[in-house]
Amino acid sequence: MSARFGGIARPPGRPKGARPPRGEAREASYGGIIRRPRAVILDMDGTLLDTEPLAARAWSDAAALLGLAFDETLPPRMIGRTFADCRALVVEQHGVDYPTDRLMSGWHVAYDAIVERDGVAIKPGVAELLDWLDRESIARAVATSTRRARALAKLEIAGLARRIDTVVGGDEVARGKPAPDIFLAAATRLGVEAAHCVVIEDSDAGVLGALAAGMATIMVPDLLPPSAAVRRAGPLVVATLHDAIEHLAALPR
């Protein structure tokens, strides 16, 4: 197990797979996760699907096709954010006279072309995680900043739709991540209290939103390491979904 990205995946000297001793359950290394969850809420892009690099390429492709200048520092800031939030970031960076709506429409076209050409890859450990949730009879939801219709289509393409109990899209809540709305909506649809949910996320925005919802959180960073603010918030940070499974499986029921 790796402690990459600055998170403490397992305290030094603890045998692999060992449970935390009594009284240690709320150490930062375990992210406040003290027992097996009744539900796991999963981010989609960057957590289940290896799509964040595709999204970044689509912004560049769309801008090039339209002959527009585009600030390449924007895509990392868009990770985990709703489409409306991404639009606001473009306007903030390029100004109100920039053809933002043309770029946004062009992004959809460019992204769909990339997916059609290259497909959608599943992140390592996804199948094993879903298998473990099946064996443990743990409910699961996807809470994604992607619009619901597009999220369902992507999950179907990836062959994961049938393995998810419910999906909440970014267009179904008033506020996107890092607000807690989408995670609370997912818990409500599953019929599980927030305190009995664990969220698995790859982005700063997602982690902060999950913690704001009062949910224990595991971060599996994708393109970016956790920010200082996220590290201070104390989620469990691990390198892979396989590591996340190991920690969940080691928890008492």
| 137, 89 Cβ separation under 8 angstroms | no
201, 218 Cβ separation under 8 angstroms? yes
Strand partners, 143: 168
Residues 6+ apart with CB under 8 A from 105: none
Residues that are catalytic: 43
Q: Which of 203, 157, 162 is nearest to 182 (CA)?
A: 203
Percent helix, strand, coil in the chain, to 5, is: 45, 10, 40
Q: Is 203 exposed, middle or buried (0-12, 13-18, 19+ CB in 10 A)?
A: buried
8 Å CB contact between 251 and 36: yes
> What phi, psi does 64 have (nearest 5°)?
-65, -45
**91, containing H or E segment:** helix 83-94
**Contacts (Cβ under 8 Å, ≥6 apart) of 22:** none
pLDDT in the model for residue 11: 37
Model confidence over 62-118: pLDDT tens digits? 999 999 999 989 988 888 888 888 999 999 999 999 999 999 999 989 988 988 888
User: For the whole prediction, is pTM greater than 0.85?
Assistant: no
Q: Which parts of the chain sit beneath pLDDT 50?
A: 1-30
Tokens describing residue 1: 């197990």
Contact between 146 and 45 under an 8 Å Cβ cutoff? The reply is yes
Looking at residue 12, its pLDDT comes to: 33
pLDDT of residue 116: 84
The pLDDT of residue 213 is 97
**Tell me, what's the pLDDT at 52?**
84
* pLDDT at site 20: 41
Residue 31: the pLDDT is 58
